[in-house]
Amino acid sequence: MPTYRPGPVSLVLAALVALFLLLPLLAVIPVSLTPTRMLAMPSGELSLRHYRALTEDPRWINSILLSIRIGVVSSAFSTVLALCFSLGVWMFQPRFTAALVGFVLLPMVVPPVVSAITLYFLLTSISGVSSFFGYDTWLGVAMAHAVMTVPFATVLILVSLSQLDRRIDLAARGLGATVWERATRIIMPNIKFGIVTAALLSFVLSWEEIGVTLFITSVNAITLPRLMWMGLRDNIDPAIAALSVILIIITVLVLAARSVVVRLRRPN
């Protein structure tokens, strides 16, 4: 029980910061209801036309479907690779573990714009060989996203492995389980929450990835953030406000559901 609670000055300052953090998220709500074709505050009547545009305009629908496809493929790929790598680290504790993990975490710490130019180099090089896998293709984007999300998946899985009791693995080993049995029947069932979280986080990171995607797509592989970007740079399309409101609502619902799950999993 903390005996030292924040005083009135702290509370006022924190409330100001909280307001600052929520303000831009709240601001998109009125804009999304404007009846005009331009970005403006609604004056008088409200309209849902920008929400309708999202469901009727094929550009938005195609981008949403493409982003889901890329997210699923890149998340599956990065989760499997991260899981194998983390199992290797945890079960065998090889030498140079720190250096190897550090190498895997590089895409997370290198400035995103440098990763972007690096992946641009990679995909344009591949484009010279293959036309359906390289610059401005959905497979190329999925691979680039896997590079960017795999460090996060690895961190999450390594963290949940670090909370696992080594003695259950030793017991399985002593009873004659093979490496495959230990991994799939002893270790993985115990870290499944971490694996699912890693897959979800990878999907979300891919779903909203823009910094790298801008460098590696031009006209074919238009993901949802890429389409939003185009709408934000030129003249601002209020459909982006409608989309933002929907994304914010989904985020709040998922976070609320997550906090309920976390509370239920806790024994007390």
Partner 1 sequence: MKAYLSDRMGAALLMAPLLLFLGAAYAWPFFGVVNWSFTLPEPGLGQYGTLLSDPLVQSVFVRTLRIAAIVTIVSVAAAYAITVVWVRGTPAQRVIAEFCILVPFWISVLTRAFGWVALLSNRGLFNTWLQAIGFISEPLTLVRNEFGVIVGMTHFLIPFAVFPLASSMRSLDDRVLLAARGLGSSRMRTFWSVFVPMTRSGIIGSALIVFVFSLGFFVTPAILGGGRSVMVAELIYLRIFQSPDWGLGAAISVVLVLFVGALMALVFRYVRPKQLI
Please report whether residue 111 would count as binding partner 1 according to CB under 8 A: yes
| Residue of 53, 68, 72, 118 interacting with partner 1 (CB under 8 A) | 118
Per CB under 8 A, contacts with partner 1 among 230-249 are 232-233, 236, 240-241, 244, 247-248
Q: How far is the CB of 236 from partner 1 (least distance, A)?
A: 7
For partner 1, the binding residues in 120-179 under the rule CB under 8 A are 120-122, 125, 143-144, 146-147, 150, 154, 179
Q: Which amino acid belongs to residue 179?
A: V
Q: How far is the CB of 50 from partner 1 (least distance, A)?
A: 13
**φ/ψ bin of 134: left (φ > 0), alpha (ψ from -120 to 50), beta (otherwise):** left
Q: CA-CA distance, 166 to 183, in Å (whole number)?
A: 12
Which CB sits closer to partner 1, 39 or 64?
A: 39
Judged by CB under 8 A, which stretch of 68-76, 111-119, 184-192, 260-268 contacts partner 1? 111-119
Tell whether residue 261 is a contact of partner 1 (CB under 8 A): no
Positive or negative, the Cα torsion across 17, 237, 219, 248?
positive
Tokens 């550009």 map to which residue? 59
16-35 positions binding partner 1, by CB under 8 A: 16-18, 20-25, 27-28, 30-31
CB 108 within 8 A of CB 202: no
- Residues with Cβ within 8 Å of residue 104, at least 6 apart in sequence: 85, 150, 151, 154
- Nearest by Cα to 205 from 84, 89, 78: 78
* Binding residue count for partner 1, defined by CB under 8 A: 85
Residues 190-219, one symbol each (x = binds partner 1 by CB under 8 A, - = not), give --------------x---x-xx--xx----
Query: At its nearest, how many Å lie between partner 1 and the CB of residue 52?
Result: 19
Shortest Å distance, C-beta 28 to partner 1: 5
How distant, in Å, are the alpha carbons of 73, 83, 159, 172, 223 from that of 188?
A: 21, 9, 13, 13, 33
Closest CA to 78 of 31, 125, 132, 147: 147
- Using CB under 8 A as the binding rule, whether residue 41 contacts partner 1 is answered as yes
Is the separation of the CB atoms in 81 and 127 below 8 Å? no
| CA–CA dist 45, 52 (Å, integer) | 16
Residues 49-78 that bind partner 1 (CB under 8 A): none
Position among 61, 117, 257, 261 found at the interface with partner 1 (CB under 8 A): 117
CB of 31 to partner 1, least distance (A): 5
Please give the structure tokens belonging to residue 137: 């293709």
Please, which of residues 88-107 interact with partner 1 by CB under 8 A?
A: 88-89, 91-92, 94, 100, 103-104, 106-107
